[in-house]
Amino acid sequence: MRIFIGAGLSALALLWPFAADAHGIAGNRFFPATLVVEDPFVADEAALPTISTHTESASDEGPKTRETEIEYEFAKRLTSRFGISVGQAYVFRDAKGPGGTAQGFGNVDVGARYQFLLDAAHEAVASLDLGFEIGGTGARRVEADRFSTFSPSLLFGKGFGDLPDSLALLRPVAVTGVIGADIPFERQTRSVSVDADTGDTDVEIERHPRTLTYGLTLQYSLAYLEANVRNIGLGPVARRLVPLVELAFETPLDGRGGARTTGTINPGFLWTGEKIQLGLEAIVPINTDSGADVGVRAQLHLYLDDLLSESAGRPLFGG
């Protein structure tokens, strides 16, 4: 969910020729759309919906809270290398104590992506991704930020189909990853409250640190195993499975307030059809700041460039 602001880069994307492949293809490798770490391809696609639920730990700011999100995201190619996207989540919050329940939309995320590398022989791909969370577009009651956040990142993917014959069983392995930053437009928020009994004024300051964001996925494609390494007799359903684990972390860069690295480990699997993909993963927090227990995430992903390949699933320019 990213946005380009540079018109010069858009012009470059229109002028630079590029071999347009199907969704997520680099040589013999199909890279599925992962649920947590953004995959590095530009494509026409829709995550509709992604449903997740997990419990936030109790803190000085509030009690333990169950949060459930139902999220959509649409992505559209303008050229074969350059695309834009929009997404938003509807959030349910159930506090185990004061605060009760609340629901409403989170902030709108918009973005754009420029895919600058595709090496078919080595099953490698890389993209530049710029994102923008529009502050104030979500509901205060679900704690949507009033300030906006800019999120530049580098996305990459590499398949291991070029390994030697002695390591043939590792050829179905692929990794994708991201490294970037979240940069809030406001460094802190001040809130003023007045005690009704004493008339005393209390000023609270909430700091919004810049954060380093990084993640990695490790995937094993059973379809790649059967098609390019060894046919082990999997059925038509099982061969479309991709077992994987996704790692996603955030580290504050400002070094204030005692904040520490947070993140999740997300083991699960994807089932990749010709036009849709199903995904299911556990959400395992790495520490108490990341969550109070194990959650779950599920997704229905639509490959619009296959579903609508002769119409809206094509790049607007140069398709």
Domain ranges of the chain: 7-307
Taking only the tens place, the pLDDT of each residue in 143-185 is: 999 999 999 999 999 999 999 999 999 999 999 999 999 999 9
pTM equals: 0.87
Taking only the tens place, the pLDDT of each residue in 77-129 is: 999 999 999 999 999 999 887 668 999 999 999 999 999 999 999 999 999 99
The arithmetic mean of pLDDT across residues 254-266, rounded, is: 81
Is residue 1 over pLDDT 70?
Answer: no
Our CA angle for 276, 238, 283, nearest 5°, is 70
Average pLDDT, the chain: 88
For position 195, what pLDDT does the model report?
A: 66
Indicate the pairing of strand 29-30 with strand 25-26.
antiparallel
Taking only the tens place, the pLDDT of each residue in 38-69 is: 999 999 999 999 999 999 988 766 788 999 99
Q: Which CATH number fits domain 7-307: 3.40.640.10, 2.40.128.130, 3.50.50.60, 2.30.40.10?
A: 2.40.128.130
